[in-house]
Amino acid sequence: MLRSSLRNLNKFKNINITTEQKDIIDKLIRVDHAGELGANCIYAGQMYATKKAGPGRSDEIELVQHMWDQEKHHLSTFNKLIDDFRVRPTVLSPVWIAAGWFMGASTTALGKQSAMACTEAVETVIGEHYDDQITQLKKFEHLHPDLVKLRETCEQFRDDELEHLDTAVDHGAQQAPAHALLSAVIGSACKFGVWAAEKV
């Protein structure tokens, strides 16, 4: 197999890595950066719609804020990683911003259970995607300590996302009207987003 150095990473200049492995790293960081950007916008939309709904749903504000704060940390981390690894961000970022906010706001407008169903569906896809990435990284993380750190970051963020999934279920996600349909539509949208971010 053709091998190349990570020429755009000075700290990696003394190691060899396959072009396939380099592609895995680039796609991983680009997709996760896009995903965390979208997640932040989902929670921004949820927060907006929750506040607009009035005091009757004020109990949701603290719940949404806790999950949003974790997503803000995730995005901040991937903002740094995308610079450190010099990965090109997806050109679809404006789409994720708009789509994420609309998804969060519209499902929240339908009620708390629908908002939680949105979170459940998104985090299910993201948790599975992180698992796949972790498996890939474990195959060649020995090449550089920063790849080990990247895998550990993915593991921590996956655990956070699964915590959000559990929180959503505990707060009525599966009692949402048309839960199966809502989950299928949102899950499919997320999977398409992962595929698109890998490509562009």
Binding residues for Fe cation: 36, 71, 74, 123, 161, 164
Helix (H) or strand (E) holding 18: strand 16-18
Taking the CB of residue 69, how many other CB atoms lie within 10 A of it? 11
Binding residue positions:
36, 71, 74, 123, 161, 164
DSSP bridge pairs for 4: 17
Residue 76 is encoded by which pair of tokens?
Answer: 């901040």
DSSP character for 3? E
- The residue assigned the tokens 């890998």 is 198
Phi first, then psi: what are they for 155, rounded to 5°?
A: -65, -45
Q: How far is the C-alpha of 28 from the C-alpha of 24, rounded, in Å? A: 6
Rg of the chain taking only CA atoms, in angstroms: 18
